[in-house]
Structure 1
Amino acid sequence: MVAPFTVFGYGSLIFKPPPHTISQVHGFLKGYVRRFAQSSHDHRGTDEYPGRVVTLVHKEDWVRFSEEDAFPDEDVVWGIAYTIDPAYEAEVRDYLGDIGRLFLTSSQDGYTMESLDIYGIVDGKEQIVIRNVRYPCCYVGRNDNPSFVGSEPLDVLAHRISCSVGPSGPNKEYLYKLAESIRELSPDSFDSHLFALEAKVKQLDSNRIPR
């Protein structure tokens, strides 16, 4: 029996699920970090002023170029594992490929598909909730693609996100939706980097309000 196609959403897929989902599991990955390290030219920014969107990076890769990272030891990434109706697997794969092309000059050069164990908290204990299935797939970013910007100081990143706007809307809207969605996943779900960035962008917003 062929295992179903499962994709792990760690960015916009959390608040905008893929089509033809037949079940979903809230959980997290270990050994990775989620960072706003990908420039967005035609999604949450422009060619002249690219925004920033999240990508998933291997922890061991991230530590090599994360001198400015405020949370270098955090390596748990919460998200949602979506199981797709087998009848629509090809359609959903195409859909996910189109999402990748929103972020990158070449989606093939920007992400790899990897099989992963997905963890959860069950009865107060950490355990694998999706194990050894054929396609626990996730898009993992690489630093050899032209849209990868790597680690930036939190203040610099917050300013960029607060000012960037693209065809899909303000960059900060993407940040706020993602942070809110992570909080709603589970009583245990968190992302210290994401929440700290959210707080800085909201502070910039409040400073712009006329008094």
Structure 2
Amino acid sequence: MSQPYIVFGYGSLIFKPPPHTISQVNGFLKGYVRRFAQSSNDHRGTPENLGRVVTLISAEDWAEFSAADPFPHDDIVWGVAYTIDPAYASENGYSVHHTDVYGFENGVEKVVAPQAVVYVGRKDNHAFVGSEDLDVLAARIYTSVGPSGKNKDYLYDLADAVKKLAPESYDSHIAALVHRVRALENAEVNTTSQ
């Protein structure tokens, strides 16, 4: 019998599960950060106006950017561990990096998905942009649109999905961006209604 193939979704996979999922469990990773630090020219932006999507990076690697990051000590990432039918594991195309996924059972932290496959961003990836000022980042997310839709909708969908994972689930970076993008929307509405 094949070993279960478990993929941890930390971005759009939270609200758009991968194909051939046979079970799922909500949980979190330790020692990583989720940041809007990856440019998108094909889904939430265009080559002329790059959007931003989340990437996962080890907290140790992200420490290099912590001077510009208002949340340098957030090193828990909530998401969903999906068990994929082993017959279709090769179709998912994820890099192989394994880590335990944690959750709470009766208020006690425990491993809920051992050694899940996680795609971890690398600083040397050409699309990696690192840490950006939150106001600048929010403005980019607010204005970017790509073939998959508005960049701000991706942010809002991700924020809503993370909140629904568990009573304890939260992401400071995402919450700060939602606050800033909503402020930009409100400012535009106020300007156009005058």
Q: Give the TM-score normalised by the residue count of structure 1.
A: 0.87
Superposition misfits of 4+ residues, deviation over 3 angstroms: none
The alpha-carbon deviation at position 46 of structure 1 amounts to 0.8
- Counterpart of 2:164 in structure 1 is 184
Structure 2 unaligned blocks of 5 or more: none
- Counterpart of 1:66 in structure 2 is 66
1:137 lines up with 2:117 in the alignment: yes
Amino acid aligned to 1:190: Y
Q: 1:175 pairs with 148, 152, 155, which one?
A: 155
Q: Is the 8 A contact 1:67 1:151 kept in 2?
A: no
| Residues 81-120 of structure 1 mapped to structure 2, 5 A cutoff | 81-91=81-91, 93-94=92-93, 112-120=95-103
Q: Is the 8 A contact 1:66 1:150 kept in 2?
A: no
Q: 1:146 pairs with 82, 105, 126, which one?
A: 126
Structure 1 unaligned blocks of 5 or more: 97-111
How far, CA to CA, are the matches of 2:58 and 2:151 in structure 1?
A: 24
Q: Is the 8 A contact 1:183 1:189 kept in 2?
A: yes
How far, CA to CA, are the matches of 1:158 and 1:68 in structure 2?
A: 15
**What does the per-residue CA deviation read over 1:25-81, in whole Å, with 9 as the maximum and x for residues that have no partner?**
000000000000000011101111100000000001101123211101100000000
Q: Is the 8 A contact 1:23 1:82 kept in 2?
A: yes
> Aligned-pair RMSD on alpha carbons?
1.2
Amino acid aligned to 1:202: R
- Counterpart of 2:78 in structure 1 is 78
**What does the per-residue CA deviation read over 1:134-168, in whole Å, with 9 as the maximum and x for residues that have no partner?**
xx101000000110000001101000100001111
How far, CA to CA, are the matches of 1:160 and 1:52 in structure 2?
A: 8
Q: Is the 8 A contact 1:35 1:55 kept in 2?
A: yes
Amino acid aligned to 1:14: I
Q: Is the 8 A contact 2:3 2:86 kept in 1?
A: no
The alpha-carbon deviation at position 126 of structure 1 amounts to 1.2
**Identity in percent:** 60
Amino acid aligned to 1:74: D
How far, CA to CA, are the matches of 1:12 and 1:187 in structure 2?
A: 20
